[in-house]
Structure 1
Amino acid sequence: MLEQFREFASKKVVRWIFAIFLIIPFGLFGIDVYFKTPMGGDAVATVGPYRIAQSEFDNALRRRAEQYRQQFGANFDASMMDNPEIRRGVLDGVVSERLMAVGAQEAGVRIGDALLAERIAAMPPFQDAAGRFSKARYEELAKSIGLTTVGLDERIREEMRMSAYRDSIAETAFVPRTTLDSFIRLSEQSREVKVVNFPAEPMLPKVKITPEQVKAFYEGHKADFTTPEQVKAEYVELSAEALAAQVPVAADDVKKFYDANINRWGQREERKVSHILIAVKADAKEAEKKAAGDKANAIAADVRKKPATFADVAKKESQDPGSAVQGGDLGFFAKGAMVKPFEDAAFAAKKGEIVGPVLSEFGYHVILVTDIKPERMKSVAEATPEIEAELKKGEAARRFAESAEAFSNGVYEQSASLKPTAERLKLTVKTSDWLVKAGASNPALANPKLLAELFSDDAIKAKRNTSAVEIRPGVLVSARVLEHKPAELRPLETVSAVIERRMQRDEALKLAQADGEAKLKELQGGKDAGVKWPDALAVSRQKPGGLFPAVLDAVFKADSKKLPVYVGVNSPMGYSLVQVTKVIELEKIDDAKREGLGTQLRSAVAAQELEASLASVRNRAGVTVRKDALERREEGSAPAKSSVPPPPRPPSKFGS
């Protein structure tokens, strides 16, 4: 019987669901282009279908340099970032991220829209002072990093996919107790060390670089000192996002959308109700209706005198088999869930009040309101910005689809100018700064296909518009060359000082390392070597004491059976000579340490399993690195051409 009560509401729910499915989120189509195309220009590496742009690698290097700057303070030397080993480590990190993306894709990891929305709404950077999701803050942050909100959505979705992939591997990690205890002893072991550094700087005065050496270096590295070909362009951009800002939304449309999606705006008032039904058909004879009504009146009078007996009476007398066994309990429901006479009576009563009998098409109801959940809803006014944005987005998608063809045809058919198309579609012609083919800081012009067309003879010599390129879903751009500068080798005299400093630094580093290695050989041979050791420092794997990872690794690999023992390591700043004087073992392992460090070991095991998984992905997907990727590039210089063809790009509308 309860199902019949809800029948009318169910029909309405079906209509709501149908309406929701008609609202297609335009930005969810063609998303793969975010992750399968480079961020600009020639790629420094390819990982399966993914490409790592030079600009992305440069950003990763800057982040690592900032980490070193914070770690070493005044001792930080920016030139250490020219070290090929450091650059390789940074590039390996970026490659690993791409391998995880491939692994997640192969594993079928999916992040649905609902889960993505939940994660975004819970992230503090996107919340207002009251802890609620702020669409304005989200849009502002996306814009600050050169993305649309759709682009930021997909970046977060990709991070979630990779995190889910990592977690799926971590969950399988298992560590036996004996292994855990061994790990704790090694992890908590400390060693007293004395460290002397042999930096490159003091060796600089000993290094003399001749003009002939500078010239030879210049002749052998001309690509490093070539100013790349450049163009300055004008361009027009057609975007669904810009069109959305032009879409008017009527107040009536907002109200209709609000009513059709009422459950999205919060919790409507709900009531928990019990009832006793004396059934009678709507077409029953009057005598039957009167008898049913009299019985219902008598029951109502009895339970009003003794409200505590309502559930027992319902079990004995109610003719609704679905709720009678529950003492008449129908649970919580909102308006629209029950037939109208029953609903009107239930929502007019107070908590604990017994009303009725109420006649519906099913018979007479004696109703008890047992609990009330008050309404916690956004008003139409509060929901209006969100509704307007959604309605604008849908209308903008339709307008974009209509305008895209006119835009594409216009810039092609009237290829001598962008102005006719811009005027017809009410777009603004913008002007860029100087651009190089390797990439552009302007997000609208950073697309590799668009840049390739801008640097073609068709654009430079014939002065034709580029085709309409879809730089990301919902955004079309066409550009036109205004000025052109050919590639030019910078004269030796303008770069000789840079070359001399670079060569001097490299040679000083070699001298420092040679000096340190010589001292190490003397010490290991039992000689004094004249080294002035500082005070001892206790270090552990948990507390490295500021030592470079390679130095710390050498300290704990040193054979501690006969102390003191000496080790030496080349570091980005020169050479580190270390005397290990004492080993401090952990005396006792307690459960607290097992619990704390057990997590670390499981993480280490998971990291090994992840590394093995990524190695397998690497073998299947393939990784190629441009030959000169790890060499330092002078500012503005062009990268060497790669002999590795780029991976195929997915087909897309409008030739992007």
Structure 2
Amino acid sequence: MFDLVQKNKTAVQVVLGLVSLGLVVGFGIGGYSAFHDSEPYLAKVGSTLITERELAEAVGNRNVPDNMKPSLVAQLVSQQLLQEEARGLRMVATDESLRELIATIPAFQVDGKFDPKRYKELLANQQMTPEMFQARLKQDIVARQLIGGFSQAAIVSSAVQGRVEKMLGERREVQLAFLGADAFLKGMSVTDEEIKQYYDANQSEFKMPEMVKLEYLVLSQAALASGQQVSDAEIQKFFDENKEKIGKPLAEVKSQIKDLLKMQKSQAAFRDKAREFNEIVYQKADSLKPAAEAFNLQILKSDWVSRESAKERELSNPKIAEAVFSDDVLNKKHNSEAIEVSQGVMVAARVVEHKPEQVLPLADVSAKVADKLKMEKAVKKAQEDGVAKLKALQEGQGVNLAWSPAKALARAEAHGLDDEQIKAIFRVGTDKLPGYAGTEVKGKGYVFFKVAKVLPADQLPAEGKLQMADALAQMYGQVALDGYLEALRKQIKVEYKLAPSKSQEK
């Protein structure tokens, strides 16, 4: 069960809002309601559409920059392909395995034990019901079961593993020295003409985006569920009909049954409430007050909202920005339509304050531009000086640098160094030591590396060899999985409206 929790940790974190853009998306596609039958889509897998709404939900309803969308959409397409295949193979996650998994998730525990109240509270904070969470987690478990077969089937030869162990285990004793731009900054100067040229050529840097402040209402299914009434007779009836499955006395499960029945009632009522909510904000378009009074909602006020971002979670959905910057809402001062920003959450908004896009005047940014240009010149000077000093070191000349204490580094132990710096260190020839390497540090200067000693790889213990074999099997398995996904794309029609690159499709 521990392995199952570890493999599904990403999925759980997505629901709890703990991952940020750039991480692997954990959940598949949940489909969407009749409100979105005509919604434009980013990709289509079989008959399942991947829309902006699904993309936003997959990353915790955060706004997704355009340059990241192709990669994230490609991940969602791959996940949906696996789910389609799992359905075809009749693979399912049992209710028992799901309950066991949820009970072992630390976020849902109090004093080391699963706590139903905390479980519901955390999900409610994400505008999600237990039923929604469990349905999505089931999808994720099944997809990961399908993926797991590839890493388990991969076989790596002992010779290949031995070479990898030797390469990764080798360590080099390294000292660092840094030549920073600050050492050259005092000698740098810029002219008014240079400042003006930069300002004219980079107007986009000084643009303040168009922004609005909003009043808005939030109608949520979770809040609706809390107001539902459930009688003792209804609880008794449910218990009697499911007594064998429950297997506990009514007194022990009464509160859980009550919550379940509340949610079932709210699911049946929410669609009607959402439609009524939309009708009121549309028909009474000059104010949100009628809808607020009809549904006993508080009119909330936002901070400044741009087309790209909003501080308030409910307003981060791209469809909100599309609506509030439309002519009808922005210029005619009407309410927006009721927008489903996540499953079971509707938002209606209106503009109360507006700032048009503007370019800050040169006088306001002149000092900032001057500082930037001086730093750019200082960085360039430091890097040129660094290249010259490295050449002198490699030719055996003495160079006055402040070297750090020696530290043993391995390829897999970055210690704050980037990939290019690690590569530079391990490209140093070992026939004559010390050897030297150096790289530019973007925007900062130049860094030198002195390799004084090579330390051969230690013999891995048995447990380490098993871990290495597992890691290599996963790498080989990923190659096999990429091929499998490519085959699925030929069987299941995939259509992109937002076309990813070939590397992103994998």
* TM-score normalised by structure 1 residue count: 0.59
Q: 2:317 and 2:416 mapped to 1: Cα distance? A: 42
| 1:443 counterpart = 2:313 | yes
Computing the radius of gyration over CA atoms, which structure comes out larger, 1 or 2? 1
Amino acid in the other structure paired with 1:184 = E
Partner secondary structure for residue 440 of structure 2:
strand
Q: What pairs with 1:363-374 in structure 2 (closer than 5 Å)?
A: none
Q: 1:103 aligns with which of 70, 74, 78?
A: 78
Q: 1:235 to 1:589 in 2, by over 3 A?
A: closer
Q: 1:148 aligns with which of 121, 128, 135?
A: 128
Amino acid in the other structure paired with 2:105 = M
Q: 1:205 to 1:33 in 2, by over 3 A?
A: farther
Partner secondary structure for residue 433 of structure 1:
coil
**Cα deviation 1:599-634 (Å, max 9, x = unaligned):** 343344445666788899999877769xxxxxxxxx
Q: What pairs with 1:440-479 in structure 2 (closer than 5 Å)?
A: 440-479=310-349
Q: 1:569 to 1:612 in 2, by over 3 A?
A: farther
Q: 1:584 aligns with which of 455, 462, 468?
A: 455
Q: What pairs with 1:312-351 in structure 2 (closer than 5 Å)?
A: none
| 1:202 counterpart = 2:201 | no
Q: What pairs with 1:563-582 in structure 2 (closer than 5 Å)?
A: 563-572=433-442, 573-582=444-453
Q: 1:264 to 1:512 in 2, by over 3 A?
A: farther
The equivalent of 2:373 in structure 1 is 503
Contact 1:195-1:578 at 8 Å conserved across structures: yes
Q: 2:300 and 2:415 mapped to 1: Cα distance? A: 53
| 1:129 counterpart = 2:101 | no
Percent identity between matched residues is: 30
The Cα shift of 1:166 comes to 5.2
Contact 2:128-2:344 at 8 Å conserved across structures: no
| 1:120 counterpart = 2:102 | yes
Contact 1:29-1:473 at 8 Å conserved across structures: no
Q: 1:162 and 1:460 mapped to 2: Cα distance? A: 43
Amino acid in the other structure paired with 2:30 = I
The equivalent of 2:235 in structure 1 is 254
The Cα shift of 1:129 comes to 1.8
Q: 1:616 and 1:535 mapped to 2: Cα distance? A: 53
The Cα shift of 1:126 comes to 0.6
Structure 2 segments unaligned to the other structure (5+ residues): 1-26, 37-41, 501-506
Q: How many residues align?
A: 449
Q: 1:617 and 1:520 mapped to 2: Cα distance? A: 52
The Cα shift of 1:503 comes to 3.2
**Cα deviation 1:507-551 (Å, max 9, x = unaligned):** 333222222211112222333334454543322224445443322
The Cα shift of 1:393 comes to 1.1
| 1:548 counterpart = 2:418 | yes
The equivalent of 1:328 in structure 2 is none
| 1:167 counterpart = 2:148 | yes
Q: 1:617 and 1:527 mapped to 2: Cα distance? A: 60
Q: 2:487 and 2:368 mapped to 1: Cα distance? A: 43
The Cα shift of 1:116 comes to 4.7
| 1:215 counterpart = 2:196 | yes
Q: 1:540 to 1:207 in 2, by over 3 A?
A: same
Q: What pairs with 1:63-74 in structure 2 (closer than 5 Å)?
A: none
Q: 1:443 and 1:225 mapped to 2: Cα distance? A: 27
The equivalent of 2:503 in structure 1 is none
* TM-score normalised by structure 2 residue count: 0.74
The Cα shift of 1:464 comes to 1.7
Q: 1:229 and 1:560 mapped to 2: Cα distance? A: 58
Q: 1:219 to 1:384 in 2, by over 3 A?
A: farther
Greater Cα offset, 587-596 or 504-513: 587-596
| 1:392 counterpart = 2:262 | yes
Q: 2:280 aligns with which of 383, 391, 410?
A: 410
| 1:244 counterpart = 2:225 | yes
Q: 1:605 to 1:553 in 2, by over 3 A?
A: farther
The Cα shift of 1:192 comes to 2.1
| 1:482 counterpart = 2:358 | no
Q: 1:504 and 1:165 mapped to 2: Cα distance? A: 56
Contact 1:33-1:472 at 8 Å conserved across structures: no
Contact 2:288-2:335 at 8 Å conserved across structures: yes
**Cα deviation 1:106-160 (Å, max 9, x = unaligned):** 233577583555432320111122512x23323443455x543467667756765
